[in-house]
Amino acid sequence: MDHRLLPSRLPLILFVLLTATGVVRIVSTYRSISQTSDESSNLACGMEWLDRGRYELGPFHPPLARIAMSIGPYLYGARSQGLTDRWKEGNAVLNSARRYARTLTLARIGILVFFLLATTCVWLWSRRLLGDWGGVAAVFLFTNIPPVLAHAGVATSDMAIGAGVVTAAYAFLLWRDEPTYGRSVLLGVAIAVAFLSKFSSVVLLPACMLTILLLGGRGFRPRARAVLAAVLVAGLLIWAAYRFSFGRMTEHVAEDAAGQGGVWSRIPSSWLRALERAPVPAPQILDGFWQVHNHMDGGHAAYLLGQNSTRGWWYFFPVALGLKTPLGLLILAAAGYFALAREKLRKFDWRAWAPAMLALVVLFVCMPSTLNIGVRYALPLYPMLAIAAATGTVYLFRRRAGRVLAVILLLWTAASSMAAHPDYLAYFNEIGGRRPERFLVDSDLDWGQDMKQLAAALKQRHVAQFHLSALYSGDYALLDLPPWDDLKPYQPVTGWVAVSFTMLKTYSWLVAQQAGRSEPGFAWLDRYEPVARVGKSFLLYYIPE
């Protein structure tokens, strides 16, 4: 090998090494992280598509990520079991193969493809804007974001939509520059990937594309054939993912709308019934849209900064991002926005602004959502935020006084991320401190990932039996737990008690709301000091007789 070629290839080599390191870090969490809350439900739906040729258990998410996570378990021998409850069906699928742990690992491995796709887009996009070393900085930062590593390591759809949005946005930017037929096909594929990952893409993609068009200004007039080619490719791939199904939706739109009020109740019921009866391609898409609408209309119990709500807060995602993102990366991103603003005074480069603006657009689109149950809903902004932070890194490196600061911020980001290993899911930056449950719970802190640690802690203390309240949807029989019973709200007990923070902060409040009581269901536990904190998500008590 010609050693003179090494310097020119070094950035590419570093990209591969950083990506591989990210994959190793993700895979190394599989054994220590217990089955999380949504994994069984997602696997049940994916296995139904793969094994039975149907997609009826949970059409509120498109099938792409679910198919990806089901391929490995299917090849390993797992099969659908025909149960109607998604969570029970998913657990039955996991138990249908030879070894539960290996089946769950194979399901999680299926999500790695989306991590690789997102990392590749970050590399290509940032390298195009910032050069080889700017691309290396962006990949370094992206692969050190704990929420990205966390959701790339579990069998859910959040990493898929994160990859889908950045892929579609980058493909659209390339197509906007040169709308050839080849790029039209690429754009169609990217749109299909984003749409089939999660229905939030229906709002995120138009917002991102409109932002790119506005930034680019006038003069863009694509040929109608190029637009049609992208639309046809996307439509065909989306329909193919639903097995070219054709028929009527199964949701009762007219009946639901009449009881909800708002805009939908003003639409004549005859029109809505006609929609229900009309045969359409992939009717599961309409079913999924309506299920998502019903979920958002009904709200979801959430917790933020010591408060509870079923309708959420407009500031939930800015606060969650401020707590769940490494501070070094946030400072570098701020430097990136400063650098872009400073350059605008000289000459406006809309392509350089695109990733930074798209990160803000994704945040603004997420803010009105009533589903405030995790930073994972804003995961699509992280690839663009990493590029903005890389812009700040390059800006600092071009100044002698700024190089040391840039290195410190990069190392701080990596150290903060690595210190969270292997529980990236419960990562909080230094602002979160040692008691992050004061700020957020649910999938930001407590998603059932610490059940193995709980079993080990109880075994270490020789606990013979205990009372439990946990956010866990897995098969308890597979855990090495001593005999236990449910910890019920408003029913104080004695002996050993284990309660997870989501149950303590959110479920306890929700029960009180439903019962018309002012005191949360587990408020009686406040009179006692916990014996230990287990993992990041459990408190363990001993209540004397």
| Residue at token pair 């390993």 | 76
Report helix, strand or coil for 70: helix
Residue 230: C-alpha distances to residues 179, 189, 492 (Å): 10, 8, 61
In the predicted model, residues of the chain with pLDDT beneath 50 are 1-3
Q: Are 118 and 138 in contact (CB under 8 A)?
A: no
Query: What is the structure's pLDDT at 265?
Result: 76
Query: What is the structure's pLDDT at 184?
Result: 96
Q: 1-40: per-residue pLDDT in tens?
A: 344 555 678 999 999 999 999 999 999 999 999 999 999 9
Query: What is the structure's pLDDT at 32?
Result: 94
Query: What is the structure's pLDDT at 255?
Result: 86
Query: What is the structure's pLDDT at 3?
Result: 46
Q: Are 528 and 541 in contact (CB under 8 A)?
A: yes
DSSP secondary structure letters along 128-175: HHHHHHHHHHHHHHHTT-HHHHHHTSSSSSHHHHHHHHHHHHHHHHHH
CA dihedral 42, 80, 113, 209 (to 10 degrees): -50
Query: What is the structure's pLDDT at 136?
Result: 97
β-partners of residue 303 are: 308
- Rg (Cα) of the chain, in Å, rounded? 24
CA dihedral 186, 190, 195, 198 (to 10 degrees): 170
Query: What is the structure's pLDDT at 223?
Result: 84
Residue among 350, 362, 355, 426 nearest 137 (CA): 355
Secondary-structure percent of the chain, ordered helix, strand, coil, rounded to 5? 65, 5, 30
